[in-house]
Structure 1
């Protein structure tokens, strides 16, 4: 006998109509599809927690009234093992107040935004301040690099990516469309904290031809990313730069810029722990509890 699909229409019928207009916080039980009908009135919903929904495949589907989620500010998704993506492309374009995105232990997650390249032409997440991705082993990138263009992530304050073992790029893009003679500079001027830990397959922070600048960064942690080709450095004004280099040019650039005493540059693929303009040595880096634990675990495989 075929197992009947669990749908959210049998979950909380009182959510329909005026009874739900004051709802600001919602925690949901286990279903395969949520919000696939247009009858819900969740226009005041601000916080949505989805936890241990082992059968959940789709969060948003069907003829959704996107205005119902215009005030959603925080989304937490934990231990939803069958979920393939978080946002449909339509929903991603209609979450203007989204400020916090926390995703962990979603084993089959492949994309944050479904068909993210098609969505990248729109203005998305203008108020996003926190991105925290933890133990999503099938995720290969977070967002298209075009999402960072034009100030779309201008309010991003904290970016944490930990133990996402198949992640290859934080921001992905088509290098063929970028001139090797002209780089694209992207400023994330509000970013304060960036942690990239336990990502052994990470190749780059962004594609070649893109140069990220973080003027307000106060904490940079990069650990167990041995294959990364992005070079991180701090300039004389304490701005942090992330730039992916062609392998044949890496040594030449390091020699040319490392002679500047007011700058700090780290070797490609090295562990980094830098805070408030003070760089810790390698012993202090590996002394960080989470970093050393993951590094030991990975080295024993």
Structure 2
């Protein structure tokens, strides 16, 4: 069926509790037949309330682990390296209430999100990082050249956007919302550039800012720990004097 969706631009999949992957391997054919044509024009992808979802393509996930068993083949990222053909035109990615996801991308996949302008991830309970670290890549640059809006909400397991030492670049990012991420201690372990970003929204009418995005997230975490979420408005006033 996936071969007939070559003109598909918007895809929403929701409320499928047993769905483990969006693309399943065709029995007896392998992935080679479908992966050539699947979603080449996709611009908007919304994945909502898919509690068992672990990866975009089941066949690739299983081959990486060497097993077809669901438990032993659990993917570490939503999109794998071979999925780049599905997301190269993606402009909006919205993932919510997907409790089987550990990470969203590898740095290699992130580099293929050349058209992404909006990223929203919310209420994925075990997500620990957005970009999963690839060892030995501290000298690489991962650029989200078109990203303007990012929202991270209700990610109780999130520790950082990325723990890798590579450089992250967000040249157009102006709006970022970080709410209900109590374990997020920093944004990125490596260098970062986001020249247009001047504040982080933490509730409907409250923003934080302290020199740059990484320091802002660190200070937010320290303040939440110290005050048990009681003085965000006071902290904002102090930083805007």
Q: Give the TM-score of the pair, scaled to structure 1.
A: 0.55
SS at match of 2:51: coil
CA contact (8 A) 2:143 2:169 kept: no
Q: What residue is the counterpart of 2:181 in the other structure?
A: 199
SS at match of 1:137: coil
Q: What residue is the counterpart of 2:72 in the other structure?
A: none
Q: Which has the larger radius of gyration?
A: 1
Q: What residue is the counterpart of 2:65 in the other structure?
A: none
1:185 is displaced (CA, Å) by 5.0
Q: Structure 1 residues 93, 242: closer, same or farther in 2, change over 3 A?
A: farther
SS at match of 1:103: strand
Q: What residue is the counterpart of 1:283 in the other structure?
A: 233
Q: What residue is the counterpart of 2:223 in the other structure?
A: 270
1:201-244 Cα offsets, whole Å, 9 max, x none, are 1122111xx22222112541247xxxxxxx9633xxxxx44259
Q: Does 1:211 align with 2:191?
A: yes
Structure 2 Cα separation of the partners of residues 171 and 191 of structure 1: 17
1:120-172 Cα offsets, whole Å, 9 max, x none, are 278311011111011000111111467xx546311111110011000111113
Q: What residue is the counterpart of 1:82 in the other structure?
A: 52
Q: Structure 1 residues 94, 42: closer, same or farther in 2, change over 3 A?
A: same
Structure 1 Cα separation of the partners of residues 234 and 216 of structure 2: 26
CA contact (8 A) 1:189 1:213 kept: yes
CA contact (8 A) 2:89 2:113 kept: yes
Q: Does 1:58 align with 2:21?
A: yes
Q: What residue is the counterpart of 1:242 in the other structure?
A: 214
Q: Structure 1 residues 283, 142: closer, same or farther in 2, change over 3 A?
A: same
Structure 1 Cα separation of the partners of residues 216 and 177 of structure 2: 17
Q: Which runs of 5+ in 1 are unaligned?
A: 1-15, 17-34, 176-183, 224-230, 235-239, 251-265, 272-280, 287-301
1:284 is displaced (CA, Å) by 6.8
SS at match of 1:132: strand
CA contact (8 A) 1:61 1:88 kept: no
**How many residue pairs get matched?**
194
SS at match of 2:87: coil
Structure 2 Cα separation of the partners of residues 136 and 153 of structure 1: 22
Q: Structure 1 residues 133, 111: closer, same or farther in 2, change over 3 A?
A: same
Structure 2 Cα separation of the partners of residues 123 and 267 of structure 1: 28
Q: Which runs of 5+ in 2 are unaligned?
A: 26-30, 56-77, 225-230, 237-241
SS at match of 1:101: strand
Query: Whose relative contact order is higher, 1 or 2, with alpha carbons under 8 Å and at least 6 apart?
Result: 2
CA contact (8 A) 1:109 1:139 kept: yes
Structure 2 Cα separation of the partners of residues 185 and 232 of structure 1: 21
Q: Structure 1 residues 121, 53: closer, same or farther in 2, change over 3 A?
A: closer
